[in-house]
A = this chain, B = another copy of it.
């Protein structure tokens, strides 16, 4: 982007870093999050059976990062719920997306061009959250770079990291998958961002904060749009990961890496041509299983089916 913006880059990025998230960008974050919830298998059924559990789930999608970083730093887990205007905004959006007659709101926001705009705006909020988390942790643990990374990560990708427990609210329990075992793209890119901002704050990067914010956000937005348009689930990090993996974990014994198919057990993501992928990049478990033609239980043991 530096070439494009020429000598004004510093000024542009400084102005950019002063954008207020509330209400427009926050609203976009809530819309995209609630839509992602609605696209989870079973979520519409839960919304009909138990609007309350559905609302709690939606709040975890929208405010999970704040709740999780609160737990990490022993700050009240309910702190985000003291911000009434944000909660009301998210609740109205939840209501409209789930219950509007004929599903018009969902259909409207799911219209690709609009969705691209909303998803891009949501990515902008991610930058702000990561930066906020890293700065907040740094104020308490100046030398604790691991704490800074973890809090920035939790703030930016809290909903994903808490997904097991968010699902539990809806009566779904999938212990064999979690975002640590198999990171989805948003969780991964947030971790990378958190590392970058921690390095920046500790002055290991030759960049000002607003410059890094601008560049990281551009990367997020462009990459998100590319993935949505091409329906690609290939992470841009895949080559780096593969190199890193072979350097760190593979040179010893030549075992199959995470991007290769392990001999047994959980299958790699890319090898599954039939796997449907939701907007969060999570492969629908049931579809993946059905694609095998036989019923493979979740815990990986093949039961006798004939």
A178 neighbours in B (Cβ, 8 Å): 53, 168-169, 171
What class of interface size applies to chain A in its complex with B?
A: 35 or more
Evaluate contact between A298 and B299: CB separation under 8 angstroms.
yes
Q: Which of A13-21, A73-81, A122-130 contacts B (4 or more CB under 8 A)?
A: A73-81
Give A257 to B50 CA distance when docked, in angstroms: 9
A174-204: CB near B (< 8 Å → 1, else 0) gives: 0111101111000000000000000000000
Give A248 to B47 CA distance when docked, in angstroms: 12
Question: Looking at chain A's contact residues, is the secondary structure mostly helix, strand, loop, or mixed?
Answer: loop
* Known A-B contacts A70-B74, A77-B74, A87-B146; A302 and B295 likewise in contact (beta carbons under 8 Å): yes
A209 CB to nearest chain B CB (Å): 22
A135 CB to nearest chain B CB (Å): 15
Give A141 to B78 CA distance when docked, in angstroms: 10
A301 neighbours in B (Cβ, 8 Å): 295, 297-298, 303
Cβ-based interface call for A210 (8 A): no
Evaluate contact between B84 and A146: CB separation under 8 angstroms.
yes
Cβ-based interface call for A238 (8 A): no
* Known A-B contacts A141-B82, A304-B304; A49 and B181 likewise in contact (beta carbons under 8 Å): yes
Evaluate contact between A258 and B49: CB separation under 8 angstroms.
yes
Give A172 to B99 CA distance when docked, in angstroms: 35
A51 neighbours in B (Cβ, 8 Å): 245, 248-249
Can you list 23 A-B pairs, Cβ within 8 angstroms, ordered by A? Answer: A45-B264, A45-B265, A48-B256, A48-B257, A49-B268, A52-B183, A56-B180, A72-B77, A76-B147, A82-B141, A82-B143, A83-B144, A84-B146, A100-B252, A101-B252, A102-B252, A169-B180, A170-B181, A172-B175, A173-B175, A295-B302, A297-B297, A301-B303
- New contact pairs (9) apart from A83-B144, A171-B178, A297-B301, CB-CB < 8 Å: A48-B249, A48-B262, A50-B181, A51-B248, A74-B75, A84-B146, A99-B248, A102-B253, A171-B181
